[in-house]
Structure 1
Amino acid sequence: MSINSFTGCIPNTLGSLRFLKFLILESNSVTGESSTPELRLFSSLTNCRQLKILSISLNPLNGILPNSLGNLSSSLQTFHASGCQLKGNIPTRIGNFSNLYIIDLGSNQLTGPIPKTIGALQNLEVLFLQNNRLHGYIPDDFCRLRRLGSLYLSDNKLYGQIPTCLGELKSLRWLDLDSNKLSSIIPSNLWSLEDLLGVNLSSNFLRGHLPLEIGNLEVIGSIDLSRNHLSGTIPNTIGGAQSLVSLSLAHNKMQGPIPQSLGNLISLELLDLSSNNFSGVIPKSLEALRYLQYFNVYFNRLKGEIPTGGHFANFTAKSFWHNDALCGVPRLQVPPCETNKNPQFAVLKYVLPPVALAILVVALVFLLMGCRNQKIKLKT
């Protein structure tokens, strides 16, 4: 009954349907009972011992998940309740569902810590808890989820470190931890997950360097490490990640040159290196990136000529603001680059000063010798 205009309360009598396997009510306007903050729907559904799919997302239920949630059928495989204005804590008994492989509780108002009992869900493949008010640490118990492929915890109030053991989950494909208060280094073994497709760790307080192993991510499409406290250089090995479509390292404390090997990222569409301390020139190898649509290096210490080939002909002045000594065409609002039209002038520029100095020294020597000889004659 999804995607309709149903209103009112979900009737508790649904629990009388003892052979119910699928209950899909998402994208309606049904609510919970106003008489109690706890959603009695879940208590009534405990009679449905064959329930496999429960999807109530995108309804204004505006209630609390009761502890009786853990009494639902052990056959439950997917539980979708995103965008339901759910409040309170996630019940610890959510770890009772041995067959559950998808939990979607994103975009609610859930508070409290993430239950460690989720680590008991050995078949769990997808966990959506983003856009809530969860706080505390990311439980190490997640590392027991050997089938976990997608972990979304963004836009919460999580703090502490990223568990090192996440780098041991070989099935992990998508990791989204952005917009929290995480403050550790990025576990080095995370970059050894060669089947990663996307990583978003932006808007935290992460520190440390990018390791050489980042180039081993041959199938990754997106890396967003912006708005952290990362330092060090971009390793040349990053050119090995040739499936990258989007790379953002903006608003960090990184330094050193922009590596030529970025020109090997043949699929790149977005490259944001703004608000760092990068120095040197913008590599001309980036002109070969035929799909590059967004490029930003403002607030760095770059110098030299801005490339003009490829998609650089389309970038605006804003992409290059506030650098040390960039030069280029007038539309980019930078000084023109100095050019030596006659190579003979370039030679004279370096030859004339030492020659002039030598002539001056010889003239001074002769002058001093002449003065000395004059004094000798006067004495005699």
Structure 2
Amino acid sequence: MSTLKVIQFGYNNLFGSLPVDIYLNLPELVKLYLYSNQLIGGIPATFGNLTRLQYLYLYDNNLTGELPAELGNLNIVKFVVNSNGLSGSIPFSMFNISTLEIMDVTANYFSGYLPSTMGFSLPNLQELYLSGNRLSGVIPSSITNASKLTELDMGDNFLTGTIPNFGNLRLLQKFWIGGNNLTGDSWRFFASLTNCRYLNLFDVSSNQLSGVLPASIGNLSTSLLEFYAIGCNIGGAIPAEIGNLSSLKYLLLDRNQLT
């Protein structure tokens, strides 16, 4: 079995914990798909010794514990562990994997801050999903250095502070930051989003933004299909410039103070 490169056992009833000695028996492993089973326990630190591993799919199990920092030693391309019971901080080493294209840790119990340098070492990152956790602190402005991002989901956490400028993410298509504790009344970040010419979904609902929607909303991508700003304490009138969004299909502004 030492020559195995791909293991795919998704959608079964596998039970038990992940093997600690997997790197000894499967040194050539490139892809490991164990999603949608009943696996328990943690992800062993020895997974960091699977030097050829590029695809790790462990989503929809019952895994617990913290992510080992040793995973940052790998040349992972796709790391998908959503819908488990994982907790603790996301190791900073995970944000230094230059080969990483997709990272999905949604629907776990991760807490703590995101590293201030998180975007500097992710030149290939295309999709980042962090929603449904307990992350706190500010959104690091460095994330805008991950210029290949097309989908960014940071919703339903405990993030605070203002929304940074995301204009460097020119390929961004879907952006969720709803359900946090973000503040601010100027909506200045809108001006930077006008650089995101492929943006088709933006959700900023359930934050403490207040203020009025700026006229620059009309300069958002003409590809924009969905705009959600529910429960943001927005006042004033809806700017006429919103009519410039010729592709818009969903405009949800419930529970605000519009006049």
Q: Which residue of 2 aligns with 1:143?
A: 48
Q: Which residue of 2 aligns with 1:323?
A: 232
Cα offset, 1:303, TM superposition: 2.3
**Amino acid aligned to 1:165:** E
Q: Which residue of 1 aligns with 2:196?
A: 289
How do residues 308-319 of structure 1 correspond to structure 2 at under 5 angstroms? 308-311=218-221, 314=224, 319=228
Q: Which residue of 2 aligns with 1:264?
A: 168
Partners of 2:83 and 2:197 lie apart in 1 by 31
**Amino acid aligned to 1:212:** S
The superposition leaves residues 57-105 of structure 1 with CA deviations (integer Å, 9 ceiling, x where unpaired) of: xxxxxxxxxxxxxxxxxxxxxxxxxxxxxxxxxxxxxxxx111111111
Q: 1:314 to 1:292 in 2, by over 3 A?
A: closer
Cα offset, 1:115, TM superposition: 1.9
Confirm whether residue 200 of structure 1 aligns to residue 94 of structure 2: no
Q: Secondary structure at the match of 2:193?
A: helix
C-alpha root-mean-square deviation of aligned residues, in Å?
1.9
Q: Is the 8 A contact 1:303 1:327 kept in 2?
A: no
Which of residues 194, 205, 209 is equivalent to 1:302? 209
Aligned residues: 238
Q: 1:152 to 1:332 in 2, by over 3 A?
A: closer
Q: 1:178 to 1:327 in 2, by over 3 A?
A: farther
**Amino acid aligned to 1:141:** T
Cα offset, 1:116, TM superposition: 2.0
Q: Which residue of 2 aligns with 1:173?
A: 77
With a CA cutoff of 8 Å and minimum separation of 6, indicate the structure with the bigger relative contact order: 2
Partners of 2:219 and 2:41 lie apart in 1 by 49
Q: Is the 8 A contact 2:63 2:84 kept in 1?
A: yes
Q: 1:286 to 1:180 in 2, by over 3 A?
A: same
Cα offset, 1:202, TM superposition: 0.5
Greater percentage in strand: 2
Q: Which residue of 2 aligns with 1:188?
A: 92
Q: Which residue of 2 aligns with 1:154?
A: 59
**Amino acid aligned to 2:141:** N
Cα offset, 1:131, TM superposition: 0.7
Q: Is the 8 A contact 2:119 2:145 kept in 1?
A: yes
Partners of 1:272 and 1:151 lie apart in 2 by 24
Q: Is the 8 A contact 1:328 1:335 kept in 2?
A: no
Q: 1:326 to 1:134 in 2, by over 3 A?
A: farther
Q: Secondary structure at the match of 1:119?
A: helix
Confirm whether residue 240 of structure 1 aligns to residue 145 of structure 2: yes
Q: Is the 8 A contact 1:192 1:213 kept in 2?
A: no
Q: 1:314 to 1:207 in 2, by over 3 A?
A: same
Q: Report the TM-score, using the length of structure 2 for normalisation.
A: 0.86
The superposition leaves residues 166-204 of structure 1 with CA deviations (integer Å, 9 ceiling, x where unpaired) of: 0111x2111111100001100011111112111000100
The superposition leaves residues 246-302 of structure 1 with CA deviations (integer Å, 9 ceiling, x where unpaired) of: 000011000111101x12100000000010011114312112211001100110001
Which of residues 109, 120, 125 is equivalent to 2:13? 109
Q: 1:231 to 1:98 in 2, by over 3 A?
A: same
- In structure 1, list runs of 5 or more residues that go unmatched: 1-96, 338-380
Q: Report the TM-score, using the length of structure 1 for normalisation.
A: 0.60
How do residues 30-109 of structure 1 correspond to structure 2 at under 5 angstroms? 97-109=1-13
Partners of 2:237 and 2:92 lie apart in 1 by 39
- In structure 2, list runs of 5 or more residues that go unmatched: 240-250
Q: 1:335 to 1:167 in 2, by over 3 A?
A: same
Q: Which residue of 2 aligns with 1:17?
A: none
Greater percentage in helix: 1
